Amino acid sequence: MTVQAGLPRWRGFHLLNMFHPKSDGEWREDDFRWICEFGFNFVAFPVCFTLWVEENDPYRLYEPGLQKLDRAVQLALEYDLNPCINIHTAPGYDVNRFVEFPYSLWKDEAALDAFCFQWTTLAERYHDFPAEKLSFHLLNEPPHLGEDVSEEEYERAMRAATEAIRKVSPDRVILCDGPGYRARPSPRLVDLGIVQCCGGYWPMGISHYMASWVGGENYPPPVWPGYVQDGKKWDRAALEEHYQPFIHLRDQGIGVLCFETGCHNKTPHEVALAWFRDVLSVLTSHGIGYVLWSFRGAFGIIDSGREDVEYEGFHGHQLDREMLSLLQEF
Q: Which is nearest to 208 in space by CA: 284, 293, 278? A: 293
Residue type, position 81, single letter: L
Which pLDDT score is estimated for 5? 60
Alpha-carbon torsion angle 33, 36, 39, 45, nearest 10:
110
d(CA 302, CA 156): 39
Which pLDDT score is estimated for 4? 56
Question: Cβ distance 44 to 12 under 8 Å?
Answer: yes
d(CA 304, CA 135): 28
Q: pLDDT tens-digit profile of 24-64?
A: 999 999 999 999 999 999 999 999 999 999 999 999 999 99
Which pLDDT score is estimated for 3? 45
Q: pLDDT tens-digit profile of 128-138?
A: 999 999 999 99
Task: Report, as ranges of residue numbers, the positions in the chain whose pLDDT lies below 70.
Answer: 1-6
Domains of the chain in start order, with CATH, are 11-298 (3.20.20.80)
181 phi, psi to nearest 5 deg = 60, 45
